[in-house]
Amino acid sequence: MSIDFTALAQKYGTPLYVYDFDVISENYRKLKEAFAGHKSLIAYAVKANSNLSVLKHLGELGAGADCVSIGEVRRARTAGIAPYRIIFSGVGKRDEEIEQALREEILMLNLESEAEMERVEAIAKTLGKEARISIRVNPDVDPKTHPYISTGLHENKFGVAIETAKRMYIRAKNSDWLDPVGIHFHIGSQLTELEPIREAAQIVADLVRSLAAIGVEIRFFDVGGGLGVVYDEETTIDLAQYAETITTAIRGLDLTIVCEPGRYLVANAGWLLTRVLYEKRNGDKRFVIVDAAMNDLLRPSLYKAYHRIEPLFDGSDRGEASPADIVGPICESGDWLGKEVALPPTRSGDLLLIHSAGAYGFTMASNYNTRGRAAEVTCEGGACRLIRKRESFEDQIRLETEPLEEKQ
């Protein structure tokens, strides 16, 4: 659909996140169809964009949820996603989080260490509930991605080595309180090369076969997420080849494939809309100062990530375009959204559209500098609606329990 971003800015103000649910639906359909003929569960990575309306929409399409906190589990349940479609991952689960997940009777807890297995077993015993588990295996494969989002090498904090995993599965098999139903790997995010995935899938599938030989029957083969998207000029992985790589690795095994996409489903279905405040120059350096900032979209500051920035105004009568840094009001030199962006001269009130902002945009936002987080809007079938109100000052201070007037 064609979205009238100018009208949305006038109605809801800026900064403003805008999502296209029709694009999300199409992305989900393409991935699900890639695994046609095989048992599969698309468990959306909630951390990418956890708005309840986004979760509800994906749940209605048939998606499950990959969660990394009990808060995300509760979000998925609140949005109507069934417990048997929810996976709880993460390296540092608290006892109370494990207990809540077991009470919810979710599909499985994904374990990342022997110490964590001990806690899950003890808590399951206390509750009198058998815990369905998977174990995250670290295949020590270089994912060829940004080091901050690489997760499959031995120096990363995620998962356990093959030999450790074998030991954990044997213990789980012999436990009265653990049911080892799954195996999991996730080598990194924003993956644009197929070979690391192929290598990791084969390593983990071979582990499944060796486990079956000793009586540990795995039912869920969780390949994680990480499918890359186009931010600039990346060549992305063909979905048919991706699915074939996974299915070839597990040939002969009776497994349900679990895939945990986040960025792939929502990144390019979202935009951040911002308004120009002023222009300034420091010597030869041109800055365009806008009302969005690093607290709204952290990825450029955190990863030096690129997001295409498009002017939503006709600058043809304003002179030639020239490079400008797009910066926000935050009191940090690292507060930038784009570097050396070719723009015509701008005026106060002009709108800029930041692309590929549907994933890890709002979910990484903060109140730094006591700035309220942006509103969120979705468009579907030609109609747009508000799905999160703009955060007010009162919203920000609501939990602060000792206002000055009470001390006087």
Q: For 354, list phi and psi in degrees, rounded to 5.
A: -100, 120
Residue 311 parent element (H or E): strand 309-311
- Exposure of 391 in the CB half-sphere (CA atoms within 13 A): 18
Beta carbons of 362 and 46 less than 8 angstroms apart: no
- Smallest CA-to-CA distance from 194 within 229, 242, 247, 234 is with 242
Catalytic residue among 259, 331, 379, 384: 331
159 sits in the region (left: phi over 0; alpha: psi -120 to 50; else beta) called left
- Residue 403: asked if its preceding bond is cis (omega within 30°), the reply is no
Cβ-in-10-Å burial (0-12, 13-18, 19+) of 404 comes to exposed
Cα gap 127→22, rounded to integer Å: 43
Cβ-in-10-Å burial (0-12, 13-18, 19+) of 354 comes to buried
Length of the chain: 408
- Spatial neighbors of 384 by CB under 8 A, at least 6 apart, are 3, 8, 18, 377, 378
Q: Where are the beta strands (DSSP E) in 77-226?
A: 86-88, 108-111, 131-136, 178-184, 220-222
- In Å, the largest CA–CA distance within the chain is 75
Q: Which amino acid is at 119?
A: R
* Torsion (CA) 188, 193, 196, 198 in degrees, nearest 10: 120
> What six digits make up the tokens of 284?
């030869």
Beta carbons of 211 and 218 less than 8 angstroms apart: yes
Q: Which amino acid is at 359?
A: A
Cα gap 137→115, rounded to integer Å: 15
379 carries an active-site annotation: no
155 sits in the region (left: phi over 0; alpha: psi -120 to 50; else beta) called alpha
Which residues are known catalytic residues?
Answer: 331
